[in-house]
Structure 1
Amino acid sequence: VYDAGEKVWTTKGEEKEAAMKEFLDALKLLETELGDKPYFGGDSFGFLDIALVGFYPWFYAQETFGNFSVEAECPKLIEWAKRCKEKESVSKSLADEKK
């Protein structure tokens, strides 16, 4: 997720297109693993959620530079991120994606 996401906003042309596909493919894989569970570990917020939610604020940058919508491509993943942000520990820890 990190490497492909960084390439979305640091490359141009065909390399950027390939990075966008790689980034979205990685997110779709995560979304498949999430399935219909509220969190990656099931009903409880756990280690994998903690490890991954830190990428959520970067989605705005990737969307802006890549001209695509993560929510349109991976709606369950965005629902998960919003659910995570409802936790005070998460909302206080994440950077504002617009800054």
Structure 2
Amino acid sequence: MPSLARRSKLEVCLDILNALAKKSMGLTRLSLEVNVNYVALKKYLDLLVNQGLVREVVDEKGRKFCVTERGLTALSYFLKLKTILSVEKALVKEA
């Protein structure tokens, strides 16, 4: 049976950055992609935009969000850290 553990705020932010790194998208699509409700997603996006990790683009087709260079850098660092911590956790289990 799959784990129903809640994601931390950091994990949700990383999921958002990861999804936007693959393709820019609007709120509805992003909400479905990262499995976060619309209201909560808007709060996360406000945080990420204010930190310069995500950029909002408005054109004639509507409003989309895309990851910035700073967001890609942050995502890269956190993914490396996650890998390092996973290896360390595995080593501790073996000991």
TM-score by length of structure 2 reads 0.31
- Give the strand-richer structure, 1 or 2: 2
Greater gyration radius: 2
- Give the helix-richer structure, 1 or 2: 1
